[in-house]
């Protein structure tokens, strides 16, 4: 695997995946292949939405051989798994990280159970076959934003075993333990054993 198309418009995800995969693989995003359309994400699960993104690319690339997509989100125990697949647009359209985090903290005001997990599902489409790889990391939601690294809900998520949020931890640390890193590593193991 020397080059791969990553079906995302999210520059943060692309930078994390480049970091996780290292220099040996060239990761091309939708911007790099001039696909600027919004991809409909109307599935009920991370698996469904991840597949929809990858399939969207397959339908639009003429000499298609392989692409990957990432659908991710935060699942909060006390909110019955919300925001879940609606993480990007939790506070409505247009998607806005700051408003999403504010809404989350508001919904958790006075709530004692702060347990949550991040989930990533990577779909790999290889020729006409689809494979999915799930990564998760558990932690807690604190009651204020801390740190400026990362994106999305990183400033309020403290992974188990750490005292700092994903937005305070160096990106190398997040990229070695995150939901995304765990899913991507499963994908890489799979590819290496093909
Ligand atoms: P693409 O569909 O173009 O890949 P997106 O941002 O719309 O980008 P998702 O549909 O997977 O991606 O939504 C994921 C949302 O979940 C994202 O916008 C963040 O709010 C949150 N999220 C995902 N991974 C995260 C991470 O590593 N750290 C913090 N928040 C994350």
Q: What is the mean pLDDT for each group of 10 consecutive residues in the chain (194 residues)?
A: 91 96 92 93 97 95 92 98 98 97 98 98 96 98 98 98 98 98 97 91
Which atom of ligand 1 sits closest to the CA of residue 7?
A: 4
Q: Report the SS3 class of residue 27.
A: strand
Q: What are the CA-CA distances from residue 177 to residues 8, 101, 152, 162 (Å)?
A: 21, 22, 17, 11
Report the predicted TM-score, pTM, of the whole model to 2 decimal places. 0.97
Predicted local distance difference test score (pLDDT) of residue 126: 95
| Pocket-testing residue among 57, 87, 118, 134, ligand 1, by greatest number of atoms within 8 A of Cβ | 87
Using CB distances shorter than 6 Å, the residues near ligand 1 are: 8-10, 13, 41, 53, 70-74, 87-88, 97, 100, 118, 150-154, 166, 178, 180
Output b/e per residue, 84-121; b: 16+ Cβ within 10 A. bbebbebbeeeeebeebbeebbeebeeeeebebbbbbb
CA 71–ligand 1 middle distance (angstroms) = 7
Predicted local distance difference test score (pLDDT) of residue 5: 95
* 141-159 residue pLDDT tens: 999 999 999 999 999 999 9
Predicted local distance difference test score (pLDDT) of residue 93: 94
Q: What are the CA-CA distances from residue 115 to residues 76, 81, 105, 151, 171 (Å)?
A: 6, 10, 13, 19, 22
Predicted local distance difference test score (pLDDT) of residue 2: 87
Predicted local distance difference test score (pLDDT) of residue 96: 97
Q: Report the SS3 class of residue 76.
A: strand
Ligand 1 atom 16: residue of nearest CA: 73
CA 129–ligand 1 middle distance (angstroms) = 25
Predicted local distance difference test score (pLDDT) of residue 24: 84
| Number of alpha carbons in the 13 Å side-chain half-sphere of residue 12 | 14
CA 152–ligand 1 middle distance (angstroms) = 7
Predicted local distance difference test score (pLDDT) of residue 164: 98
* 5-16 residue pLDDT tens: 999 999 999 999
């Amino acid at each position: 695997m020397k080059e791969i198309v990553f079906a995302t418009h999210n520059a943060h995800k692309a930078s994390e995946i480049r970091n996780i995969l290292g220099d040996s693989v060239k990761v091309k995003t939708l911007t790099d292949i001039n696909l600027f359309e919004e991809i409909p994400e109307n599935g009920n699960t991370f698996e469904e939405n991840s597949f929809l993104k990858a399939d969207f690319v397959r339908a639009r690339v003429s000499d298609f051989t392989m692409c990957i997509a990432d659908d991710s989100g935060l699942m909060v125990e006390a909110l019955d798994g919300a925001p879940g697949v609606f993480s990007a647009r939790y506070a409505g359209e247009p998607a806005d990280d700051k408003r999403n985090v504010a809404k989350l903290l508001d919904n958790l005001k006075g709530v004692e159970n702060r347990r949550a997990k991040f989930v990533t599902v990577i779909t790999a489409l290889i020729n006409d076959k689809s494979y999915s790889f799930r990564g998760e990391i558990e932690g807690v939601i604190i009651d204020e934003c801390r740190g400026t690294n990362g994106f999305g809900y990183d400033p309020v998520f403290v992974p188990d075993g750490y005292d700092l949020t994903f937005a305070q931890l160096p990106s190398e640390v997040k990229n070695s333990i995150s939901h995304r890193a765990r899913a991507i590593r499963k994908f890489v193991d799979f590819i290496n054993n093909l």
